[in-house]
Amino acid sequence: MSEVLVQKNEKGLGSILLNRPESLNALDISMIRKIKQTLDGWMKDDEVKVILFSSTNERAFCAGGDIKALYEAKLAGEDMEEASSFFVEEYELDGMIYTYPKPIIANLDGIVMGGGVGLTYGAPYKIVTERTKWAMPEMNISLYPDVGASYFLNKAPGHIGRYVALTAKTFEASDVLYMNAANYYMNSDRLKKFLKSLEKTDWTAEADEEIKVLIEKFSEPLQEVSFLERHASQINEHFQYETVEQIVDSLQKDESDFAKETAQLLTSLSPVSLKVTLQLLIWAQGKTIEQCLEQDISIAKRFMKVEDFFEGVRSVLIDKDRNPSYKYKSLEEVSDNFVQSFFNKEI
């Protein structure tokens, strides 16, 4: 059975369905190539008017990239330059979505993390549900939020993007809408009816207007105030600083439960990842998605040479003891020059 199911009906709908349930649809290189090949073909196919990104199972849209494969390549002594081509092709696909000439609808039902976020962020119609679990969790494995996250997290209000990136927390629909990472909400029952309507609609060249009418029919406003909105003032206060040390110091001076929990979380994560990620978000302010994805390539390749990344993967995805023994154990041990080395383009 194919890990990516491609369907095209006679009414103008093209569907790309992720179908790797045993790994929660984690993207591997063959899936990335299949999606890109499909989109390349549909770009010139007049029979396809609208494209849907979805999943064959309700539990997850996509849990991210298949990082285990990189760990196994390292263990097997393979050329990591070749293995890291995964990132190059993934980012190329992500960038393609932003400028794709036909409307793309992304069904963000269930788990949507890392590579799944990157794959769909450029889609103009992103739908979340009460089952959505959204995250950029790369910090947990001593990596960094890639797939253009430095671009789109800077689109969140205030310094919310920094909080999302540095804590690697998982968020629900209301938070995803608040940080501008989705633009529509449907409960799962309405979503099923919406997806059936997509299949039954005779799509025309005016597809964007037709999509908006259909989404308006099935979407609904979320009345609840999101976790991020409730804590926005504290997040903006503490995450305004230009160094991780200042952020942690600010949090530790705040006696609130939120600040204490956040400080404890940050100090449990990889110092290398924290410092590189904050620097990347600062660098990315005002940059284009193309610039951010190009920078991601340099940084991802640099992480492939850092022991702490592979130790993070081991602790979370391989042995699952969640007890990493990082080479860099404190923020003070990570020098500015070392952080800067992630931003130097390789010759």
pLDDT (tens digit, 9 = 90+) per residue, 56-114?
A: 999 999 999 988 888 888 888 887 777 788 999 999 999 999 999 999 999 999 999 99
DSSP state of 240: T
31: pLDDT strictly greater than 60 = yes
* Region 18-40 average pLDDT: 97
347: pLDDT strictly greater than 50 = no
Q: Distance between CA atoms of 152 and 181, rounded to whole angstroms?
A: 8
1: pLDDT strictly greater than 80 = no
Asked if 293 and 91 count as a contact pair (C-beta separation under 8 A), the reply is yes
Q: Provide the phi-psi class of 310: left if phi over 0, else alpha when psi is between -120 and 50, else beta.
A: alpha
DSSP state of 27: B
Residue written as token pair 């022991």: 307
Domains of the chain as residue ranges with CATH: 4-343 (3.90.226.10)
Which pLDDT does position 211 carry in this prediction? 98
Which pLDDT does position 346 carry in this prediction? 54
Sequence-separated (6 or more) residues with CB below 8 Å from residue 263: 248, 251, 252
Residues above pLDDT 70, as percent of the chain: 99
* Region 25-54 average pLDDT: 97
Q: Please spell the DSSP secondary structure of 251-304, one letter per residue.
A: HHT--SHHHHHHHHHHTTS-HHHHHHHHHHHHHHTT--HHHHHHHHHHHHHHHT
Q: Which helix (H) or strand (E) holds 125?
A: strand 125-128
Catalytic position from the list 114, 115, 161, 312: 115
DSSP state of 115: H
Higher pLDDT, 220 or 223: 220
36: pLDDT strictly greater than 90 = yes
**110 catalytically annotated:** no
Range in 39-53, 70-84, 87-101, 281-295 with the lowest mean pLDDT: 70-84
pLDDT (tens digit, 9 = 90+) per residue, 164-213?
A: 999 999 999 999 999 999 999 999 999 999 999 999 999 998 999 999 99
Number of neighbours of residue 18 by Cβ within 10 angstroms = 25
Q: Distance between CA atoms of 169 and 163, rounded to whole angstroms?
A: 9
Catalytic position from the list 90, 138, 308, 311: 138
Which pLDDT does position 83 carry in this prediction? 74
248: pLDDT strictly greater than 70 = yes
Asked if 238 and 245 count as a contact pair (C-beta separation under 8 A), the reply is no
Distances 337 to 208, 276, 290, 342, 343 between C-alpha atoms, Å: 48, 11, 25, 9, 10
Q: Distance between CA atoms of 180 and 163, rounded to whole angstroms?
A: 14
Distances 106 to 82, 87, 118 between C-alpha atoms, Å: 30, 21, 11
DSSP state of 65: B
Asked if 107 and 62 count as a contact pair (C-beta separation under 8 A), the reply is no
Q: Provide the phi-psi class of 193: left if phi over 0, else alpha when psi is between -120 and 50, else beta.
A: alpha
Higher pLDDT, 119 or 85: 119
Catalytic position from the list 28, 90, 109, 146: 146
Distances 45 to 11, 64, 212 between C-alpha atoms, Å: 13, 29, 22
Asked if 211 and 51 count as a contact pair (C-beta separation under 8 A), the reply is no
344: pLDDT strictly greater than 90 = no
**64 catalytically annotated:** no
Instruction: Round the average pLDDT of the chain to a whole number and report it.
Output: 96
Residues above pLDDT 90, as percent of the chain: 92
**175 catalytically annotated:** no
**206 catalytically annotated:** no
Catalytic position from the list 14, 64, 65, 116: 65
